[in-house]
Chains A and B, each alone.
Chain A
C-alpha cells in the first residue's frame, strides 16, 4: 500500500510540471502586458517601456520562467501586480465564494439525484423511469450559464423574487451568504444532478440482481431496507468517483456562473486578472486549481484502493 501511494504521488509531479510550463508560457506569450494597463490610456510608448523595465518584464522569457518556477517550488507564488498582496492570499479571498457555490451545488445535486436515481432503477423500464431519463438527458444538454440567464429572466426580471445579483459575502452572515447563492447554485447543480441520476441508476441496476441482495431479501428484510442499506452503499462509491471526476467541470461551470450572477469568486478573479494581465495571479490561480484537481483525484484513487484492493494497481493506473 505504501509503495502504491508513493508511486501515485510521484506520478503527480510530471502532470503539475506540464501545467506549470503550459500556464507560464500561455500567459507570457499572449499579447498585452500589465505596464500599459497600469499607466492607462494616455501613456506613451516610452512610459510603457520604462515601467516594463522597472517591473522586470523586459527580461528574457526563460529567465523569468526559471525565477518563477524556482519561487513556486519553494511555495512562493509571488505577489499580485495590482493588489500589493500575495497571490496565495488573493486566491484564498476569491476562493471562498467559489467553494461555497461549488459545495452548495454539489449538495443540491446529490439531494436531488440519489433518490431519483434509486427510484428510476427500482421502477426500471416504467414510464416514470423513461421520463426521468428523458429529463436527465435534457438536464445534461442545458449549459449551466444558460440556465442561470433563464433564472435571472424568470425570477429576477419577471417575478422579481430575487435581485438581479445580490451576492452577500460570508461575513454578512452564513445564512445570508448561502441564500444569495441559492439561485446560481441551482443553476450550477442541475447538469451535475442529471449526470448523477444516470450514474446512480446504472450502478443500482448493476447491484440489484446481485446474490447478496437476493440473500438479504430472502432473509426477509424489508425491500426499502435492502435498497437503502445494501444497494446504496455501492452506489456511494460511484458518487465519490463522480465528485472527483466532475470537480474541474464544476469549477469551470462556476467560473461562468459567477460571471452571470456577478459573484466575486475565482471566475471573476481570473477574468479580472486576464483583463489586467496580472501575470502572477493568473499563473498562481490556474496552477492551484490544477493541483487541487490532481490531488482530489489522487485521494479518490487512494480511497478506492482502501475499498477494493483489486483496483489498486490495475485499473487505476490510468486515472
Chain B
C-alpha cells in the first residue's frame, strides 16, 4: 500500500516538473528566431501540401507535347517541362509528395526506433542480436542501401517510405538505446525495479517519456534527410515512380535538358533547399531549447 502511494507521489511531482519545463520550453521557443523562421517555412510547406489542388491551375500530369520546354510566363509561372506539363503544378505537387514521404518516414522511423532502442537497451540478450543487425545496416552507405531495397521492392511511393525507414531506423534506435542506458542507471528506475514494478510499465511509463525531447530533435533531422534522400533516389531513377510529380523526378527530367531549360532544375532545387533549411533551422532551435547542454552540429 505504502509503496503505491510513494510511486504516485513521485509521479505527480514528475508531472508538475514536466509541465513547468514545457511552459519554459514554449516561451524559449517563441523567443528563438531560428526555430521560429524554420517553423514558418515548414508551416508554408504544410499549407502547400494540404491546399495543392486549390493553388494550381493545371493538372500536373497533363502532357501537351506541343507546348514542351516553354520558359516561365504568366500562363506557366515556372514554365513547362519536357513533355509540356505545367512546372508550377508539378513543383507544388512535388512538395506535397516530399512532405508526405518525409512525414511518413519520420513517423515509422520514430516508432520503430523507439521500440527497438528501448527493448534492446533493457534486455541485453536482445541487444546483441539487434545491435549487430543495426551495425550491419549502418555499414552501408545510406543511398546504396536505399537503391538496393528499391530494386527489390519495385518503384512505388510506399516502397520509398519503407526503404528510407529501413535506412534511418538504426539511427534512431541507437540514440534511444544510448539514452535509455543512461536513464536505466538512475536511482528512481533502480528503485522502481527493486519494488517489483513490471518491465512493461518501467519501459513505457518511466523511460519512454524521457525520450520525447531528444526524439523530437532527431525527428526533424530525419525528416530533412528523408526529403533529401527521396529526391536523390528519384533523381537516380529509383524513387517515386514516374510520371508522379516528385521534386527528384522533375530534376531527373531536367538533367537531360539542363543546357536549354534551366527552370526545370532551379525551381524544384530551390523548393528542396527551402524545406530542408526550414527543418534544420527548426531542429537546431529545438535542440537549443530542449537540450541546452548538447553540442552543436550533429
A residues whose Cβ falls under 8 Å from a Cβ of B: 14-19, 22-23, 26-27, 29-31, 133, 137-138, 140-143, 145-146, 149-150, 152-153, 157, 164, 195, 198-199, 201-203, 248-249, 251-252, 255-256, 259-260, 270-271, 274, 286, 289-290, 293-294, 318
Leading 6 A-B pairs by shortest Cβ distance: A18-B136, A198-B297, A252-B141, A141-B277, A30-B151, A252-B143
B residues whose Cβ falls under 8 Å from a Cβ of A: 132-133, 135-137, 139-144, 147-149, 151-152, 154, 174, 178, 224, 228, 231-232, 235-236, 251, 254-255, 258-259, 262, 265-266, 269, 272-273, 276-277, 279-281, 284, 295-298
- In the bound complex, residues from chain A placing their C-beta under 8 Å from that of B149 are 26
- In the bound complex, residues from chain B placing their C-beta under 8 Å from that of A23 are 148
Task: Report yes or no: B144 in contact with A289, Cβ–Cβ below 8 A.
Answer: yes
How near does chain B come to A106, taking the closest CB pair, in angstroms? 15
- In the bound complex, residues from chain A placing their C-beta under 8 Å from that of B296 are 133, 198, 201-202
Task: Report yes or no: A22 in contact with B141, Cβ–Cβ below 8 A.
Answer: no
How near does chain A come to B180, taking the closest CB pair, in angstroms? 12
How near does chain B come to A191, taking the closest CB pair, in angstroms? 10
Task: Report yes or no: A271 in contact with B236, Cβ–Cβ below 8 A.
Answer: yes
Chain B residue nearest in CB terms to A274: B151
How near does chain B come to A157, taking the closest CB pair, in angstroms? 5
Q: Among the listed B142, B266, B277, B298, which residue makes an inter-chain contact with A248, where contact means beta carbons less than 8 Å apart?
A: B142
CA distance A146 to B284 in the complex (A): 22
- In the bound complex, residues from chain B placing their C-beta under 8 Å from that of A164 are 258-259
- In the bound complex, residues from chain A placing their C-beta under 8 Å from that of B273 are 138, 141-142, 146
Task: Report yes or no: A256 in contact with B235, Cβ–Cβ below 8 A.
Answer: yes
Given contacts A146-B273, A164-B259, A274-B151, contact A137 B266 (CB under 8 A): no
Task: Report yes or no: A293 in contact with B139, Cβ–Cβ below 8 A.
Answer: yes
- In the bound complex, residues from chain A placing their C-beta under 8 Å from that of B136 are 14-19, 22
CA distance A255 to B133 in the complex (A): 24
Task: Report yes or no: B133 in contact with A18, Cβ–Cβ below 8 A.
Answer: yes
Q: Among the listed A142, A201, A202, A252, which residue makes an inter-chain contact with B144, where contact means beta carbons less than 8 Å apart?
A: A252
Task: Report yes or no: A157 in contact with B259, Cβ–Cβ below 8 A.
Answer: yes
A interface secondary structure, majority:
helix
Q: Among the listed B132, B140, B174, which residue makes an inter-chain contact with A286, where contact means beta carbons less than 8 Å apart?
A: B140
Given contacts A143-B276, A286-B144, contact A199 B255 (CB under 8 A): no
Task: Report yes or no: B280 in contact with A260, Cβ–Cβ below 8 A.
Answer: no
How near does chain A come to B248, taking the closest CB pair, in angstroms? 9
Given contacts A18-B132, A256-B235, contact A290 B139 (CB under 8 A): yes
Task: Report yes or no: B297 in contact with A202, Cβ–Cβ below 8 A.
Answer: yes
Task: Report yes or no: A153 in contact with B133, Cβ–Cβ below 8 A.
Answer: no
How near does chain A come to B183, taking the closest CB pair, in angstroms? 16
- In the bound complex, residues from chain A placing their C-beta under 8 Å from that of B259 are 157, 164
Chain B residue nearest in CB terms to A242: B297
Given contacts A138-B277, A149-B255, A199-B297, contact A143 B141 (CB under 8 A): no
Task: Report yes or no: B144 in contact with A149, Cβ–Cβ below 8 A.
Answer: no
- In the bound complex, residues from chain A placing their C-beta under 8 Å from that of B142 are 248-249, 252
- In the bound complex, residues from chain B placing their C-beta under 8 Å from that of A198 are 296-298
- In the bound complex, residues from chain A placing their C-beta under 8 Å from that of B266 are 150, 153
